[in-house]
Amino acid sequence: MTANDASGEPTRRDFLYIATGMAGVVGAATAVWPFIDQMAPDASTLAASSIEVNVASLEPGMSLTVKWRGKPVFIRNRTDKEIEEAKAVALDDLKDPLARNANLQAGAEATDIDRSAGEGNENWLVMIGVCTHLGCIPLGQAGDFGGWFCPCHGSHYDTAGRIRKGPAPENMAVPLFSFTSDTVIKIG
């Protein structure tokens, strides 16, 4: 329409049309962005947080649930029997073979030692108490494997928090944590 009929070359007017259109698109996209970005977690939610938990009172077989980043974290002092049961499981029997332990490398295998607080602290299991299926909180010491059972959609976890049966795809996540003393755990 606006092309130079004689040469068939685009005219200066063509250029102006396209340039104006593009500026309009970019302008609209820029204006829309704040409306989208406000949906994301805000600064107060994102503020890095870590908590310290005193676990001195936890005898073997006792658990504690603490809230971290709006989610429950299970801290369990496991009994010898529970540790034995978890160790006896062959890795091939696991639905998710990865440790999902933020303290280890991503590829670590889901052995009992790599799920627990590690050498010397094998009785301690610290994990985010959120079912990896759809985010419910599993019930402790329940289910077919004596670990955790999610009442929402029937996922069974064993005594090392590994998914064994049901729709959940992954083992419950182990957050970044460390023992700051013999009895205090720092999460995050």
Partner 1 sequence: MSGDHSTYNPTTGFGKWMDSRLPLMRLTHDSFVSYPVPRNLNYAYTFGAILSMMLVVQLLTGIVLAMHYAASTGIAFNSVEHIMRDVNFGWLLRYMHANGASFFFVAVYLHIARGMYYGSYKAPREVLWILGVVILLLMMATAFMGYVLPWGQMSFWGATVITGFFTAFPGIGETIQQFLLGGFAVDNATLNRFYSLHYLLPFMIAGVVVLHVWALHVTGQTNPTGIEIKSKTDTVQFTPYATIKDGLATSVFLLVFCWFVFYMPNFLGHADNYIQANSLKTPAHIVPEWYFLPFYAILRAITFSIGPIDSKLGGVLAMFGSIAVLFLLPWLDTSKVRSAVYRPWYKLFFWLFVANAIFLGWLGAKPAEGTYTTLAQISTLFYFAFFLVILPVLGLIETPRRLPNSITEAVLAKRSGSGGSKPAAAAASPETRG
- Residues annotated as catalytic (active site), given as ranges: 153
User: What residues form DSSP beta bridges with 158?
Assistant: 146
Task: Please give the backbone phi and psi of residue 182, each rounded to the nearest 5 degrees, phi first.
Answer: -65, -25
Q: Is 133 a residue that touches partner 1 (CB under 8 A)?
A: yes
Q: Is 173 a residue that touches partner 1 (CB under 8 A)?
A: no
Q: Would you say 83 or 157 has its CB closer to partner 1?
A: 157
Q: Is 23 a residue that touches partner 1 (CB under 8 A)?
A: no
Q: Is 51 a residue that touches partner 1 (CB under 8 A)?
A: no
Q: Would you say 80 or 144 has its CB closer to partner 1?
A: 144
Q: Would you say 61 or 188 has its CB closer to partner 1?
A: 188
# residues contacting partner 1 (CB under 8 A): 28
Sheet hosting strand 51-54, strand order edge to edge: 51-54, 184-187, 177-179
| 27/48 Cα distance (integer angstroms) | 34
Q: Is 167 a residue that touches partner 1 (CB under 8 A)?
A: yes
Q: Would you say 34 or 41 has its CB closer to partner 1?
A: 41
Q: Is 45 a residue that touches partner 1 (CB under 8 A)?
A: yes
| 7/176 Cα distance (integer angstroms) | 68
Q: Which helix (H) or strand (E) holds 46?
A: helix 43-46
CA distances from 104 to 78, 115, 116, 156, 177 (A): 21, 9, 11, 24, 11
Beta carbon of residue 11, minimum distance to partner 1 (angstroms, whole number): 40
Beta carbon of residue 188, minimum distance to partner 1 (angstroms, whole number): 12
Q: Is 39 a residue that touches partner 1 (CB under 8 A)?
A: yes
Segment 59-118, which members bind partner 1 (CB under 8 A)? Answer: 65, 67, 69-72
Contact 94, 110 (CB under 8 A): yes
Are β-strands 51-54 and 62-68 bridged in parallel, bridged antiparallel, or unpaired? Answer: unpaired
Given the rule CB under 8 A, which residues bind partner 1?
Answer: 39-42, 45, 65, 67, 69-72, 132-139, 150-154, 166-169
